Homo-oligomer: A and B are copies of this chain.
Amino acid sequence: MTIVGVLSETPGRERRVALTPDAVGRLRSRQVRVVIESGAGRRAWFGDADFEAAGAEVKTRAQVYEESDILLCVHPPDDVAALAGGRVLIGLLDPLSHPGRAAGLAAAGITALSLDLLPRTLSRAQAMDALTSQANVAGYKAALLAAEAYGGFFPMLVTAAGTSRPAQVLVLGAGVAGLQAIATARRLGALVTGYDVRAAAQADIASLGAGVLATLNDDRSQEDGYAAALTGDESDAQQRALQDAIPRFDVVITTAKVPGAQAPLLVTETAIEKMRPGSVVIDMAVGNVAGSVADTRLVTDGGVTVIGAPDLAATVPVAASTAYARNAVALLTHLMPDGVFTLEPADEVRAGVLVSHGGQVVHPRLPKEIRS
């Protein structure tokens, strides 16, 4: 019987856990054993007892390393070296940003699968799409965070103590996170405008009842559903156009990413200077906003609060863990058709997520050099 292991996540702010009791139950019903480090779910409000009730075995960290055939994580653990060669590691390994990490895993003989490399436009892979599920949580939280940091009301309220106009919210980048941020801010009563370089995303914004910011850019969609990076000139033009638009908003939330590349700068210093005191800017991509720092709340001299928030999903641990665990189980189920882990047949999903195998980095999107 295959054994799936789960550890406590190491990075400081990380409150998620890779499996939830519900997910454990789903694995158990597929004849998979689950070992989990004691206290792994604590910060996401899942107790050891809950896991045990669901059929998992609660062990020490060393035992989990020892026994797991497949180690499931959100982020790769710092002490991943403790994992023996030949084992399987599945998580959000982000090899595109950390090619060294991929090389290391390969060198250690670990079969590494990264959920963030999943082909996103594949209908049948949607249930495994952890980037989507986590971005969804993050987008929701970003809107809450903005409302919380903003000094006024989001909704319009006519009261005996005067009328407060609705907050004007601008969401830059209408991918999964952006759309959920739009939806949540609209729920709170803000007047929301969305912006994206992909034409399809503009229709999606409108389908949430929000306004669409018209820009100079043509459709920048790619085959894989992601946006293409802009050229330098295009990017300058975009920044200038946004510079004019941004000051009339009270809240700006940015989510624009280009996979494998630096997040584009959308909100320049000039734009921030022109914003009203009390305005809030949340940079979920960390890189969209000039001067934003991850996990930090800065206030500019002009009274604009700039929040760098790359990892908001981790701050909604129950929802994020539950969704992540469901994604992981869906992937595992796919990889273990008869209860046994296999990389054959080499279908789109398997080929998409496989980072290293048999001592080699194998993913085609990783730099040639490390693919030795």
Contacts and interface: CB of A to CB of B under 8 A. Distances in A.
Contacts of A148: 141, 144-145, 148
A162 interface: yes
Contacts of A318: 150-152, 278
B316 A153 contact: yes
B136 A278 contact: no
Interface stretch (A57-65, A219-227, A323-331, A357-365): A323-331
A271 interface: no
A195 interface: no
A313 to B, nearest CB: 11
**Which of A132, A152, A184, A187 has most chain B Cβ within 10 Å?**
A152
A303 interface: yes
A50 to B, nearest CB: 8
**Copies of this protein chain in the complex:** 2
Interface in A137-170: 137, 140-141, 144-145, 147-148, 150-153, 155, 157, 159-162, 164
Contact of A161 (B45, B151, B161, B327): B327
Contacts of A161: 127, 129-130, 132-133, 136, 322-324, 326-327
A264 interface: no
B159 A277 contact: no
A44 interface: yes
Contacts of A324: 161
A147 B154 CA distance: 15
A168 to B, nearest CB: 14
A317 interface: yes
A284 B70 CA distance: 47
A126 interface: yes
Contacts of A130: 161
Interface of A: 15, 44-47, 126-127, 129-130, 132-133, 136-137, 140-141, 144-145, 147-148, 150-153, 155, 157, 159-162, 164, 184, 187-189, 276-278, 303, 316-319, 322-324, 326-327
20 contacts: A45-B278, A47-B303, A127-B160, A129-B161, A133-B161, A136-B159, A137-B153, A140-B153, A141-B148, A145-B148, A151-B316, A151-B319, A152-B316, A153-B316, A153-B319, A155-B187, A162-B326, A184-B188, A187-B188, A188-B188
> Top 10 A-B pairs ranked by shortest CB distance?
A45-B278, A151-B318, A161-B323, A133-B161, A126-B160, A152-B318, A45-B277, A152-B319, A162-B326, A161-B326
